[in-house]
Chain A
Amino acid sequence: AQSVTQLGSHVSVSEGALVLLRCNYSSSVPPYLFWYVQYPNQGLQLLLKYTSAATLVKGINGFEAEFKKSETSFHLTKPSAHMSDAAEYFCAVRGGEYGNKLVFGAGTILRVKS
């Protein structure tokens, strides 16, 4: 069955440090992959998406993610964390047996320390 695993329910980094949020999917057919962010008291906002074009996808706010088929991964990175990046991040997949709906990982809360 297709599912999404986000390693680490909480990640803490210092301001200016690298942000790495991990996402692995399980599917025999590479799906479409998405990262969403939820800031406090707001809805989900799309950060970036992979739809079988370039494997390195650039998103908003300096985030990017690389699709690695061999590792079934789609990790989210940002070279330098900012205090405003503190939020909850969700990896999601779509397509294949799950059709049009998004299937989400459990989410990772990112804390940025000053």
Chain B
Amino acid sequence: EAGVTQFPSHSVIEKGQTVTLRCDPISGHDNLYWYRRVMGKEIKFLLHFVKESKQDESGMPNNRFLAERTGGTYSTLKVQPAELEDSGVYFCASSQYRGIRETQYFGPGTRLLVL
């Protein structure tokens, strides 16, 4: 069974440009999460989808970030326009159920560098 996949693995863009990150969860997993680790800081929650609906987006830093999950399958996270402080590693995770005991399975992350 394929794990959580993320694309691209690395992205280098200039300040002001747009970048779109993609996450494909494990097949059958209704719950999809985005997290981010800025250099030297903790991994922080961004948002949570249940199928195509945003369940919790309390961690989204500002309106330059837009997450979508059309059809409840893969998800995209768009940053527009990108700023220097957006650099970091963006992780996606998925789980089959919503319960807090459920394991979240993480992808390898997308390393974003904004110059």
Contact = CB atoms under 8 A, between A and B. Distances in A.
Contacts of B31: 100
Given A41-B108, A43-B91, A44-B106, A100 B48 contact: yes
Interface residues of B, number: 26
B85 interface: no
Contact of B108 (A43, A99, A102, A106): A43
A51 interface: yes
Interface string B1-31: 0011000000000000000000000000001
Interface string A35-74: 0100001111110010100000000000000000000000
A107 to B, nearest CB: 7
A46 B106 CA distance: 9
A100 B56 contact: yes
The 3 closest A-B pairs by CB, nearest first: A44-B106, A101-B45, A43-B108
Interface of B: 3-4, 31, 33, 35, 41-45, 48, 55-56, 59, 91, 93, 98, 100-101, 103-109
Given A102-B45, A106-B42, 8 more contacts: A43-B4, A43-B91, A44-B43, A99-B100, A100-B100, A104-B44, A106-B41, A107-B43
